[in-house]
A = this chain, B = another copy of it.
Amino acid sequence: MKTKDLRVVKTKKAIYQALTHILKNKSLTDINVSELCRQAGVNRGTFYFHYEEVGDVFKEFFEEVILDLQESYKEPYKYISALQLKSSVYKNLDPKTVRIFHHVKKYEDFYHIILSDNVSTTYYYMFFDAIRSNFIEDSKIGEYDESKKFVYSFMTNAIIGLIIEWHRSNFKESVDDMNIHLVQTLSAIARN
């Protein structure tokens, strides 16, 4: 048993598509359950059988995106740009960090919503915790070092700070530009 029920698959797909459709014209915060169900052709009671609020649907979406972020960390360095391999500017840059920018650019539309104003902080912290766990994964040789938890949160949110700035410029900078900004920022801090 435990095969996925086709009814559920169909319902959720309808809701997904309805949400992405409405999101083209409206911000996430302004979409209500009734409208979403009307668009999806799904009974409102059915919605509440699976979710509690509209944001939960988006959250389910974003969980997939976060999964992709984790995946990209485990893969070999295929995402690293040619630019990086050539330039000596990058010699001190951890290639794993570089992938975050690739990932964000890939899911640009998502991160525009997540980093926008007047949205639940839930998504922000999903992103935060994902990056943070990668930082921990990278640096730990043996066990988790409790004393470094502030260092992890500092670095994690610092990277997101760059991405917030990126978001505010409508992601107009290229991934390579962001790499350069990261290197320059780090060296600027090291100078002080």
Residues of A within 8 A of B (CB): 92, 115-122, 124-125, 128, 148-162, 164-165, 181-182, 184-186, 188-190, 192
Contacts and interface: CB of A to CB of B under 8 A. Distances in A.
B158 A155 contact: yes
Contacts of A154: 158-159, 161-162, 165, 185, 189
A128 B118 CA distance: 14
Nearest to A166: B150
B190 A165 contact: no
Nearest to A165: B153
A184 B115 CA distance: 29
Main secondary structure of the interface of A (DSSP, over half): helix
Contact of A121 (B117, B157, B158, B190): B117
A150 B181 contact: yes
Contacts of A188: 148, 151
B151 A184 contact: yes
Given A158-B157, A189-B155, A149 B164 contact: no
A158 B158 CA distance: 4
A186 B158 CA distance: 12
Given A153-B165, A160-B157, A119 B121 contact: yes
B155 A157 contact: no
* Complex A-B, nearest 7 residue pairs according to Cβ-Cβ distance, in ascending order: A157-B161, A158-B158, A153-B165, A150-B181, A153-B161, A154-B161, A157-B157
Contacts of A162: 150, 153-154, 157
B117 A122 contact: yes
A18 to B, nearest CB: 23
B117 A125 contact: yes
8 contacts: A118-B120, A118-B122, A150-B184, A152-B165, A153-B164, A154-B161, A154-B185, A157-B164
Nearest to A189: B189
